[in-house]
Amino acid sequence: MDTTQEIYLDNSATTRVSKEAAEKALYMMTECYGNPSSLHSKGFAAEKEMTAAREIIAERLSAQPGEIYFTSGGTESDNIAILGAAHAKKRAGNKIVTTAIEHPAVLNTMAQLEKEGFEVVYVQPEADGNIPKEKFDAAIDAKTILVSVMAVNNETGVLLPLKDIAGTIKRKKAPALFHADAVQGFCKIPLQPKRLGVDLISVSGHKVHAPKGVGALYVKSGVRILPHSFGGGQEKNLRPGTEGVPQICAFGEAVKHMMTEKEALTHVKAVQAHLIERLKSMPEVVLNSPENALPYIVNLSAGRVRAETMLHFLAERNIFVSSGSACGKAKPSHVLSAMQLPKERVETSLRVSLSAENTAEEMDAFADALKEGLQTLSHA
């Protein structure tokens, strides 16, 4: 096997910045570098570029530009949405519903709200990782003020039933705002907040071939959430501070050049099917992602080889995967633990996450290296 060829299969952690996005960032830093709040032509030029980026993100989310607020990334978007909604709604009640498989950006924000006296219900997944809509029906009631559920799980690729949850909120006459962390769903599945019944959506740039340090929050027109930082009034006071214009414009440029969700999904599905076929021929490999998961993410457990050991074995061969969420810093996966998988399966789990740039040939190279790793390391 030619090990000089880099095979990057950790796209859920971050993606390679596209050439167009990198060029746009450079242009904004070196030529169109005015402060968008400045009242001279240099400032106006920067503001115009930022407005264009806002329009691109809004269009991809089937939203209005005025509903898009730029942030520093998914974590900040989640914090602004969850804290802002909980504090705006606290007179109506104190119950919040989320899941046990959320990203730490959501779970740790919920822990903070629990300290403030909010009651947080964590809906548990089934053994296959899915969470059926009935579980949300049981959790949401007339006292629920906020529901925060990810669109796509970042470790297993499980899709959450957003539309059904919105229906439950309506049926139970809950005063709840509905937030979706769509960091792993943006540009992969169609996200139309009005059709889904979602009030707040968090997205991140570096998962869609834009630089790190930029994200966005969709806030449905007419929805009021309270700000948690204060400054010069940028982003309509919801996220004040001079905007990261180069990243924002690069974010817009990256999204502008992304394939449509349908085109990308067709390609990724074929590549993932090829990978699954190869993995099924290895008796030591068990799949942790259910069949109905989004094909961009394949979570597997590899024999008796600890994830970290296998990860380094593959990295030496220029193949890059992860052992769960990059934000988990190699701690055992709370998602797989919530699925009540055996400890050995959790400790040997790897996450292969694809982008539209990956190929079937790369899946073969990964499968060959994994097989070699299982033979070599199992007897080490």
Q: What are phi and psi of 74, to 5 degrees?
A: -60, -40
From the candidates 32, 187, 249, 327, give the one annotated as an active-site residue.
327
Full 3-state SS string of the chain: CCCCCCEECECCCCCCCCHHHHHHHHHHHHCCCCCCCCCCHHHHHHHHHHHHHHHHHHHHCCCCHHHEEEECCHHHHHHHHHHHHHHHHHHHCCEEEEECCCCHHHHHHHHHHHHCCCEEEEECCCCCCCCCHHHHHHHCCCCEEEEEEECECCCCCCECCHHHHHHHHHHCCCCCEEEEECCCCCCCCCCCHHHHCCCEEEEECCCCCCCCCCEEEEECCCCCCCCCCCCCCHHHHCCCCCCCHHHHHHHHHHHHCCCCHHHHHHHHHHHHHHHHHHHHCCCCEEECCCCCCCCCEEEEEECCCCHHHHHHHHHHCCEECECCCHHHCCCCCHHHHHCCCCHHHHHCEEEEECCCCCCHHHHHHHHHHHHHHHHHHHCC
Tell me, yes or no, if 327 is annotated catalytic. Answer: yes
Residues 6+ apart with CB under 8 A from 183: 74, 103, 150, 154, 202, 203, 204, 207, 215
- Which two three-digit tokens encode residue 117? 């006296």
Active site positions, annotated: 327
